[in-house]
Every structure is written in C-alpha cells, then in structure tokens.
Chains A and B, each alone.
Chain A
Amino acid sequence: MSTQLSLKSRLSSTVASLKPSGIRRFFDLAASMEGVISLGVGEPDFVTPWRMREASISSLERGHTAYTSNAGMLELRVEIQKYLEERFSVSYHPESEILVTVGASEAIDIALRAILDPGDEVLVVEPCYVSYEPVIRLAGGVPVFLKTTMENQFKLTPQELETHITPRTKAIIFCYPNNPTGGTMTADEWKTLLPIIEKHDLLVISDEIYAELTYGRMHDSIAALPGMKDRTILISGFSKAFAMTGWRLGYVCATPDLLAGMLKIHQYTMLCAPTMAQMAALEALRHGRSDMERMIESYRQRRNFVVDGFRQIGLSCHEPDGAFYAFPSIASTGLSSAEFAEKLLMEEKVAVVPGDVFGESGNGHIRCSYATSMEQLKKALDRMGNLMGKLS
C-alpha cells in the first residue's frame, strides 16, 4: 500500500485554504447539459477581427518567434502610450512606465505582489472580478471588502471607503466599468474619493480592462485626475475591447519605481509576453479602432435590448453604462442568487452566473452577459420570462 500524503501537507497553507471558484462550479454544471443558452460568458462573442489575426500570421511567416524585451516590444509600448494619452488623457513614459503582460491577469498579480508585505490590507470594491481576493491572498495580503449597491448604481461612496481603512491598509483595487455590475464612475464621483485616498496614502490599482466599453460617455480614468498618477497602477489589456481573450495580452502602467518592482517579478516568472500576440496588439492599436467601434455599437444595442427585457419580465435592473454585463436583482423572487441561477439552468436551460460569486454584496443578483447573439438573447429572455411566471 502506498503511503499517501494528505493534501494539506503538500500544498502551502495559503493555497490549501483558497476556495474553489464559484464560476468553476457553475461551469461544470452547465457544461454537463445540452441545449443551454449561455449568458454566463465573460468574454466578447466576436472572433478577433481579421486584421489582427492576419498581422500575427504574417509576423509568424516572417519568423518573429523569439523573445521580446522583458517589458514588451518598445514599438508596442509606444503605441500603448499614444493610445492612452489620446483616449483617456493619461500619459506614461513608454520606456519606464509601461510593461506588457500576459493578460490583465498577470498585471493584477504582479501589481499586488510588488506592493504587498504579509498582512497588508487591500480594499476590494465589491461585487468584483473573481480573481482579486485569491490573488491578494496569494501575495500575502488580506482582502477587505467594500460594498456597493444597485441603489447607488454600484458606485463606490466616500463613506464606504473611509470606514474600512485601518493602519494596515496599503491599497485599493477595483474595476470600472465593472465586471459583474456594468457600473461606471465619473470624474466627479472619483473626485469625492480623492481626499480620502490621499489622506491615508493609499495606492490605487485600477483595472480598466473594460475602459473602451462604455455607452453614452467616455470612460474617466482615475489616473487622469490631479495628483493621482503617482499613486495609481493602471491595468488594462486587449481581451475585451479588441476581442482578444485567447491571446493573453495586457499591460500595466505605473511610476518608474513601482514599474521596476513589477518588472522584476515579470522578468523572473514570465520573461516576456507572447511575441505573436504583441504583433497582433500592435495592429489592433494602429488600425483596429473601427473594428472596436463596430463591436461597441453592437454591445450598446444589445444592452438596451436586454435591460428593457429584464424589466418587462419583472426583474429590476439598473442601466449598466459599461462592460457587457447586466446585473439584475432577483431578490423579488425570494430565492438566493445560487438558487435562482440553478433553477434557471435546470428548468429553462439558461446559464447565468449567481451574483454572490463576485462577493457577498452580489447576492440577490445574477450576472447576465449580453455578449451573445440577438437570437440567443431573445430566447434567453423568453425562457427567463417563463421562470418568472412560474415563480410569481
């Protein structure tokens, strides 16, 4: 008989204590069923526009298959600098303040690892992207959750921020436009938070991966506000706006001291981001604007359609101004998010993600991605209407 070591003794205690992702559980459940319409997908339904695919193929043909510099091709960093400046009025030096990463995911990881000492607290604006909490823990930090609500359009308020700050608080992390709520923040709303951030000398990790996906007005980056660039780590990437999720390409921008720290981790763990993906990203920034605009227009139309649809079937839903998620409340049904999502899946074969997967304040909501065809959206709304009929 072989002696089996217990898991606990082989895995680090931090890893052993991480909860498995709630998304994973729902994926397994939905994947085991036939004929499911999915509103559970957190990525664009567009295939990467051809010009980016073509640029990557052509670079392969020319033999661009070697490592690039650790921070990413300088040409690409220069394009990123121009793009951020032009779109969001934030300016970073391409050689010392921009680092190309393996997705925004890697950027989040190295940002946290670069700044945290064991026990440091990081404020996390909830509901939030599922990775923040585990990645903070893996970096030795302690997540502290700040709540947002539908009544406030899922915006962070100064009161909520201030009450959770302690002497151990090192940073705050959030994503606006938000996954899963679609909430956004305006420059004026950011300004109400700045005095608190400054008073407590917080670092800000701003995940702006959905920055291009706003409907009605341009995204306001917190990094563009007076005095904020020096304390902000701006994270973004190509996954969402350019429909390039599988390419694994993102970037992080910060002051040279912070960036140098992140670069150390990146260089010893990743070396550099994939070369073919960098080639495609270069093309995206240089010539992909119209492809992006076409996709955004389509998301906006579908946003209008689904939000109206939810309200018609009796689910209250704030109008999301960004990303491609709606986050309707299912509280009126008396069910928990997980119960509702499971019932919807089992009885009507529509997959959505229970809101509490994104943190406690997501309970009572479900995340519905409208990055899917109109035909599927129509069917999904009909089926959800059926369930609502049965529940009332």
Chain B
Amino acid sequence: MDSKKQRELLHLLEEDSRMSAEQIGKMLAEPTEVIERAIATLEAEKVIVKYPALINWERVEDHPYVNAMIDVKVTPKRDVGFDEVAERICRFPEVKAVYLMSGASYDLSVVLEGKTMREVATFVSQKLATLDSVVSTATHFILKRYKHDGIELEDRDEDRRMVVTP
C-alpha cells in the first residue's frame, strides 16, 4: 500500500478505531486482506500504539476522576540531563503524560489523573516533590475540558440541512 493510502488508513482509524477492515477496504478501494495486513504491520511497527476510547468523563455521573497539570522545576543531572527524572516520573501509574517544555519557567509538565483532589495533593507532596532533583512544583487542577485530542467535547454540530435539497 502506498504511503498516501497508509496515511488515509491511519486517519480513518484515528477517527473511528472500530471501523472494520472490510469497511476501510471499501473506502480506500483496497481488498480487505490488504488492509488487514497493513494494520498488522503498523501495529508491529508501533505506528499504531493503542486503540483507546475517548471518554467524556464529564458526562458520566459521579465520575471519580480529577485531572491536574503540574509544572515541575528540576535540576538537571550531569550526563543524563532531564531524562532520568522524567523517566522516574513516568513510572508512577497516576501520571498520564510527561513533557519536557521549552521557554517556560519550569522544565517538565506532568499530566496527572487522580480519584480525588486529596489523592492528587498527596501524590504531589509525598512522591513528586520529594524526588531528589525536583526543585519546585505548581499544581493546576483542570476544571472543565472543552477540547481533548482534537475533539470538541461539547455537543457537535448537528445536521441542520433539510431532508431534500437540489
């Protein structure tokens, strides 16, 4: 499969990862087996990493999650720079994402998910802040998510067209 078709395939899966190989095959005018093989290869090459569902937890009653973004200032270590401490932070299961940032007054941005505000607070004060290289932390709780992973979480535009038009 050429690289343009491969990109289209990835776009389709990103949009809806439950789409069947048969359906994708029809849309891209390729036999089902070709699509199945391409997906298998992309999975093996870790281009396709995972098939997650994007849940809008705000819509789930009593959703037990709070999300926070934590700005972390660290002292880089000789030879390993920021990598060592970043990797340690990554290993905590509460941590959803870790980014090394440029241009900010902090170095690492850590995205956290906890069951309660207290749980997040405990994690920051007892686990994160006590790491050797960590100089300071600033925790921002996320109050509401408007857009996530490219998807606007509020009501999508409904079809306002008339049933039949010229």
Q: Which of A36, A38, A378 has the most CB of B within 10 A?
A: A38
Given contacts A45-B159, A45-B161, contact A302 B166 (CB under 8 A): no
Given contacts A45-B159, A47-B157, contact A351 B27 (CB under 8 A): no
Q: Does B166 contact A305, Cβ atoms closer than 8 Å?
A: no
Also in contact, A21 and B166, with CB within 8 A (given A301-B27, A305-B23): yes
In the bound complex, what is the Cα–Cα distance between A45 and B161 (angstroms)?
A: 8
139-166 of chain B: CB within 8 A of chain A: 157, 159, 161-166
29 cross-chain CB contacts under 8 A: A21-B166, A23-B164, A23-B165, A27-B164, A27-B165, A30-B164, A31-B162, A31-B164, A38-B163, A40-B163, A40-B165, A41-B162, A41-B163, A42-B166, A43-B161, A45-B161, A131-B166, A179-B166, A297-B11, A301-B27, A301-B28, A302-B27, A304-B26, A304-B27, A305-B23, A305-B27, A351-B163, A374-B16, A374-B27
Is A315 on the interface with B (CB-CB < 8 A)?
no
**A38: chain B residues within 8 A (beta carbon):** 161, 163-164
For the complex, give the distance between the alpha carbons of A117 and B157 in Å. 47
Taking each of B19, B26, B162, B166, which has the highest tally of chain A beta carbons within 10 Å of its own beta carbon?
A: B166
Question: Which of A25-66 touch B at CB < 8 Å?
Answer: 26-27, 30-31, 36, 38, 40-43, 45, 47
Task: Name the residue of chain A whose CB is nearest to the CB of B19.
Answer: A374
Q: Could you tell me the distance between the alpha carbons of A27 and B19 in the complex, rounded to whole angstroms?
A: 32
- CB of B26 within 8 A of CB of A41, answer no
Binding site for A on B (CB under 8 A): 8, 11-12, 16, 19, 23, 26-29, 157, 159, 161-166
Total number of residue pairs linking A and B with CB closer than 8 Å: 62
Residue of A nearest to B29 (CB): A304
Mask, A6-32, CB within 8 Å of B = 1, is 000000000000000101001100110
Complex: chain A residue closest to B159, CB-CB = A45
Give the most central of A23, A36, A374: most B CB within 10 Å: A374
List, in ascending order, chain A residues with CB within 8 A of B27's CB: 301-302, 304-305, 374
Question: Which residue in chain B gives the minimum CB-CB distance to A33?
Answer: B163
* Chain A residues with CB below 8 A from B19, complex form: 374
Distance (Å) between the CB of A161 and the closest chain B CB? 25
A353 at interface, CB cutoff 8 A: yes
With A and B bound together, what is the CA distance between A26 and B165 in angstroms? 9
Is there an interface contact between A41 and B164, defined as CB atoms closer than 8 Å? yes
Tell me if A88 counts as interface (CB < 8 A to partner B).
no
A347 contacts the other chain (Cβ, under 8 Å)? no
Across chains A and B, which 8 residue pairs bring their CB atoms closest together, nearest first?
Answer: A40-B164, A301-B27, A27-B164, A30-B163, A38-B163, A42-B165, A305-B26, A308-B26
Q: How far is the CA of A39 from the CA of B162 in the complex (A)?
A: 11
Main secondary structure of the interface of B (DSSP, over half): loop
> Which residues in A have their C-beta under 8 angstroms from that of B165?
23, 27, 40-43
- Contact between chains at A27 and B163 (CB < 8 Å): yes
B163 touches A36 (CB 8 A): yes
C-alpha spacing A320/B26, complex, angstroms: 15
* B residues near A308, Cβ cutoff 8 Å: 26
Bound form: Cα–Cα A367–B118 in Å: 60
Residues of B within 8 A of A36 (CB): 163
**A281 smallest CB distance to B (angstroms):** 21
When chains A and B are docked, how far (Å) is the Cα of A30 from the Cα of B23? 29
B26:A27 contact, CB within 8 angstroms? no
Q: Which chain A residue lies CB-closest to B11? A: A297
Specify which chain B residues have a CB less than 8 angstroms from the CB of A47 in the assembled complex: 157
Q: Does A130 contact B (CB under 8 A)?
A: yes
Selected from A304, A309, A351, the residue in CB contact (under 8 A) with B28 is A304
A297, A301, A372, most chain B CB atoms within 10 A: A301
Minimal beta-carbon separation of B147 from chain A (angstroms): 12
Give chain A residues whose Cβ lies under 8 Å from the Cβ of B16.
374
Name the distance in Å between A31's Cβ and chain B's nearest Cβ.
5
Determine the distance from Cα of A378 to Cα of B27 in the docked complex, in whole angstroms.
Answer: 12
**Residue of B12, B162, B163 with highest tally of chain A CB at under 10 A:** B163
Which of chain B's residues has its CB closest to A302's CB?
B27
Contact status A297-B8, CB under 8 Å? yes
Tell me which residues across on chain B come within 8 A of A309, comparing CB atoms. Answer: 26
Give Cα A218–Cα B12 distance, bound, in whole angstroms.
24
B interface footprint on A130-168 (CB within 8 Å = 1, 0 otherwise):
110000000000000000000000000000000000000
Interface membership of chain A positions 280-320, coded 1 if the CB is closer than 8 angstroms to chain B and 0 otherwise: 00000000000000000100011011001100000000000
Say yes or no: is A129 at the interface (Cβ < 8 Å to chain B).
Answer: yes
For the complex, what is the distance from the CA of A130 to the CA of B161, rounded to whole Å?
18
Contacts of B162 in A (CB 8 A): 27, 31, 41
> Distance (Å) between the CB of B164 and the closest chain A CB?
4
B residues less than 8 Å from A30 (CB atoms)? 163-164
